[in-house]
Structure 1
Amino acid sequence: MTQSLNWRKSTFSSGAEGNTCVEIADLRARIAIRDSKDPNHGSLTFPPRAFTAFVETLKADTSHTAV
């Protein structure tokens, strides 16, 4: 991705510096995500419907915990 993106972290970020989460950026037709601890390592993009389904699944899964 060569365009400048407006990356943002979740308000649920944990850790002393708020760096143990993913960041997201809105593209025209996709949502980009990257590891906030290593933002230069790369990113993944998803269609908005797939990203929404992913987030809803995470919200519904009470077995995951923050690391």
Structure 2
Amino acid sequence: MSASSAGQPDASLVWKKSSYSSNDGPECVEVADAAGTVHVRDSKSVTGPRITCSAGAWAGFLVHATTR
């Protein structure tokens, strides 16, 4: 997993907002997948820092997050 400052939005990524996010709330997470990697960002700061991980690491995170 890595974190980076995006600087400019990547036009090739298709971002999907979490169903738990709202336009008014603090939970604004977006995810984009591309070529075996998953990118995660704060939808309120699209040019801000981004977390990137492998698709396998993301799948493991989702299993952990949904079983709690």
Assess same fold via TM > 0.5. Answer: yes
After TM superposition, the runs of 4+ consecutive aligned structure 1 residues lying more than 4 A away are none
Q: State the distance in 2 between where 1:36 and 1:55 align.
A: 19
TM-score of the superposed pair, with normalisation by structure 1: 0.71
Q: Whose strand fraction is larger, Structure 1's or Structure 2's? A: 2
| Higher helix content, 1 or 2 | 1
Q: 5+ residue gaps in structure 1?
A: 62-67
* Percent of residue pairs bearing the same amino acid type: 32
One of 33, 36, 52 as aligned partner of 1:29: 36
Higher RCO (CA-CA < 8 Å; seq separation 6+): 2
What RMSD, in angstroms, separates the aligned Cα atoms of the two structures? 2.1
Query: How many positions carry a matched residue from both structures?
Result: 60
Could you tell me which runs of 5 or more consecutive residues in structure 2 were left unpaired when the two chains were aligned. Answer: 1-5
